[in-house]
Structure 1
Amino acid sequence: MPDGPLTRERIWATAEDAIRKYGPAKATVVDVARALGVSHAAVYRHVASKAELRDLVVGRWMETIMPPLRAIATKSGPATERLRELFGALIAVKRRRSSEDPELFTAYRALAADAQSVAAAHVDELIELTATIIRTGVRDGTFRTVDPVTAGRALLFATSRFHHPAHAGDWSDPALAAAFVDVWQLLMDGLVTGRKPRKSE
């Protein structure tokens, strides 16, 4: 008998176990149903297809990293500090996931490549969180008059090497931290009002 009512939350947790066991390409709805002790038809009442199961798994995984990022975007404080904190937290959580469970992290990378609408929604929220901070900085004169969403997208893409899972293989490079400092300095030189770029040595 299944242990408790069947919910999307239980399906997600069990699907994650199946992905870990069989890999993202081989894990199926039948595997999930078997592990839950229910028929695959029962699972299909909650997820209509293997593709929807994949989207559920990827979406829930992405959602688990968002609460602290949302908190940073909406708290008070200088915009420059909040923006740096936001990207520092994003980088830290992605790298922590990669180092704590590299096999599952790799599996999620593979799944996310197919879950394009879910991944796009995740990126859109990251852009909007960045734009939220930029918007306050523009209002108080800290940042130049820019379109917050356009600038947020540019910041996210310009720093992708440091937090996008596609670049996870680079994250063990000891020179990466210094590279991020240089990239961030350059980005802030272009965004902060009255800031003069550093002269080259």
Structure 2
Amino acid sequence: MDVPAADTRTRILEAAAALLRRHGPDKLTVLDVAKRLGMSHGNVYRHFPSKQALRAAVAEDWLAEVTAPLAVIAAGDAPPPARLRAWLSTLAAIKRRKVLEDPEMFAGFHRVVVESPEVIAAHVGGLVAQVARILADGRADGSLPSVTAPEADAQVVLTATMRFHHPDLVASSGEEAAATALLTRVTDLLLAGFGAVAR
């Protein structure tokens, strides 16, 4: 019985991620993935036309673990100020966990991500869009009346909170309790700047 193409693609990505976790980026090649799955490298190439395409897909999957729970918050029905606060604290917690709980694994995945600038750009664009949605909702319902341009303002929010979610800065952000308290203060200032109104 033929295996559906989508299932084969998923198996390839799972094998690639397992290789990356176990051996680091240098073993993340089409040949190594094919060998792990007991299939020809030609079969892998049918789904990923190059090693770089395979590595980019692994990076996309890894970053999707960050954006998926954030998308739920952004699309939720809580008041926009509360959603922004929850979104920022969740992003910071996810990034802190990824960076600090298994630094060697993180370094491997991060290296693959950095090799795929188009994946990073799409990831950041998705984050901006989620925050922009929250800000636009706040402007529409009057709970964030000082939002002027949701997308531009969203970029400002991400810049202002960068030390809490940029991989290169998270490791030096200090103890978790202190970092959380500081993020709360930064979020308070951002909400005040947007004229947050309690609902």
**Normalising by structure 1, what TM-score?**
0.87
CA RMSD in angstroms comes to 2.0
Alignment partners' CA distance in 1, 2:153 and 2:194: 9
Structure number having the greater helix percentage? 2
1:10 aligns with 2:14: no
Alignment of 1:79-90 (within 5 A): 79-90=80-91
Give a deviation string over 1:85-134, Cα, whole Å, max 9, x none.
11111111222233443322111111111111111111111111101110
Alignment partners' CA distance in 2, 1:96 and 1:72: 19
Alignment of 1:67-146 (within 5 A): 67-143=68-144, 144-146=146-148
Residues 24 and 151 of structure 1, relative CA distance in 2, 3 Å threshold: same
Residues 15 and 193 of structure 1, relative CA distance in 2, 3 Å threshold: closer
Percent same amino acid at aligned positions? 38
Instruction: Look up the equivalent residue of 1:157 and give its one-letter code.
Output: T
Tell me which moved more, 150-159 or 101-110: 101-110
Instruction: Give secondary structure in 2 for the equivalent of 1:76.
Output: coil
Alignment partners' CA distance in 2, 1:171 and 1:32: 36
Alignment partners' CA distance in 1, 2:11 and 2:139: 44
1:165 corresponds to which residue? 167
Higher RCO (Cα < 8 Å, 6 or more apart):
2
Alignment partners' CA distance in 2, 1:164 and 1:9: 28
**Normalising by structure 2, what TM-score?**
0.88
1:55 aligns with 2:56: yes
CA contact (8 A) 1:127 1:149 kept: yes
Instruction: Look up the equivalent residue of 2:162 and give its one-letter code.
Output: S
CA contact (8 A) 1:69 1:89 kept: yes
Residue ranges of structure 2 left out of the alignment (5+ in a row): none
Residue among 188, 191, 198 paired with 1:188: 191
How many residues were matched structurally?
192
Instruction: Look up the equivalent residue of 1:136 and give its one-letter code.
Output: D
